[in-house]
Amino acid sequence: MSAPPVSASSVFVPSVVSPAAGSSPAAARRRPEGLSVVDTGSDIAAGTGTSAARATLPVLFQHGLGGDAAQVAEVFPDGAARRLTVECRGHGGSAFGTERPFSFALFEADLLAALDAAGVGRFVAGGISMGAGLALRLAVRHPDRVAGLVLVRPAWAFAASPANMAPFLEVADLVRRHGAAGRDLFLASPTGRRLGEEAPDNLASLAGFFTRPQAADFAEVMAGIAADGLGVTRAEAARLAVPTLVVGNAVDAVHPLALAEELAAAIRGAGLLTVTAKARDRAAHAAEVRAAIAGFLAGAAFAASRPPAASRNRGAASPPPAG
């Protein structure tokens, strides 16, 4: 699928960014260095975006661990809304930066700084795998800004260092100790053999990390994120009052369908959709996810021009007002 024309920028000079209108109450955030941001908003501003995109809140849609903006473009519907994708540190065109450790908290701060720099106040948060985790974390920690959630093939729920992410820790360790030669060791390991039988798509992705550019540096990212948690409790998720779509699939050991079901059950009113397994038919999987996101954004009517409501019913299922 070809991606829509986008504006991509990289921020390399650290500077102070004033929070956008409707942002969470914080003084000012430090703009992160070397982050690549894809923003389709230029098309909307120029009047070339669809009328639906111009009338819908912006969508922050994030990639998975090891992914990039191209991964997002494959499953996000063209023209459905202004989409921003921040390539997290060490991913895509973004630098690794100097701050450590790599964590959901660090990536969250980068996302908020990028949104503020783009002038985005309220938005719909979504993503794939790690990106879904970031979206959920943002919704819980910044309910004044997040108007809706799209969680595609989530890999984290309420536990830190979940068992489904253990293969990433194994790969990170082998990369650091053996470099590219660790690939054969991983494929021959009990984990590698199990994934070859149960989830070959996961195995192919993990094997690719051994020959990834700057593999040793990225191993530090993998280890930090795979061992981390969202910092979100089941009770906090249950208190969310925004439209939520959870998309899961089978034949996926890293993104178990049971985990998608768990999140959908925990978030009040969340919808759960099971799509064709990516491991079985990648094109059909992507098409079904695009259709689901398009329908969700249209059906939930995330109007960008809705006035704020001071006495909003927090238990309602309709999206919060635009800020």
Q: Assess whether 109 and 154 both reside in one domain.
A: yes
Instruction: Check which CATH number belongs to the domain holding 81 and give it.
Output: 3.40.50.1820
Q: Which residue, 226, 250, 278, sits at the end of a domain?
A: 226
The last residue of a domain, from among 203, 226, 249: 226
Residue 86 within a domain: yes
Domain membership flag for residue 183 = yes
Provide the pLDDT for residue 302. Answer: 76
In a domain, 244, yes or no: yes
- Write down the pLDDT at residue 17: 39
* Same domain, yes or no: 116 and 156: yes
Residue 50 binned pLDDT confidence (cut-offs 50, 70, 90)? low
pLDDT of residue 56: 82
Mean pLDDT over 153-160 rounds to 98
In a domain, 318, yes or no: no
Number of residues that this document lists for the chain: 323
Give the residue ranges of DSSP H helices in the chain.
Answer: 41-45, 51-55, 69-75, 104-117, 130-141, 166-178, 182-188, 190-198, 200-208, 215-226, 234-238, 257-266, 282-299
Q: Are residues 103 and 177 in the same domain?
A: no
Number of domains in the chain: 2
Same domain, 62 and 122: yes
103 & 156 share domain: yes
208 and 62 within one domain: no
Q: Are strands 16-17 and 123-128 parallel, antiparallel or unpaired?
A: unpaired
Query: 215 and 170 in one domain?
Result: yes
pLDDT(25) > 70? no
Residues 237 and 287 in one domain: yes
Is 108's pLDDT higher than 50? yes
Predicted TM-score (pTM) of this structure: 0.85
What is the mean predicted confidence (pLDDT) over 169-198? 98
**Host H or E run for residue 19:** none
Task: Give the β-pairing of 271-274 and 123-128.
Answer: unpaired
Q: Which domain holds residue 78?
A: 7-160+228-299
As beta bridge partners, residue 87 has 36
Boundary of a domain, candidates 199, 226, 253: 226
**Residues 66 and 205 sit within 8 Å (Cβ to Cβ):** yes
Domain match, 17 and 49 both: yes
**Interval 98-121 mean pLDDT:** 97
Q: What percent of the chain has pLDDT over 70?
A: 79
| Mean pLDDT within 296-316 | 55
Band of residue 23 on the pLDDT scale cut at 50, 70, 90: very low
* 73, pLDDT greater than 90: yes
Q: Is residue 51's pLDDT more than 80?
A: no
**Residue 42 confidence (pLDDT):** 63
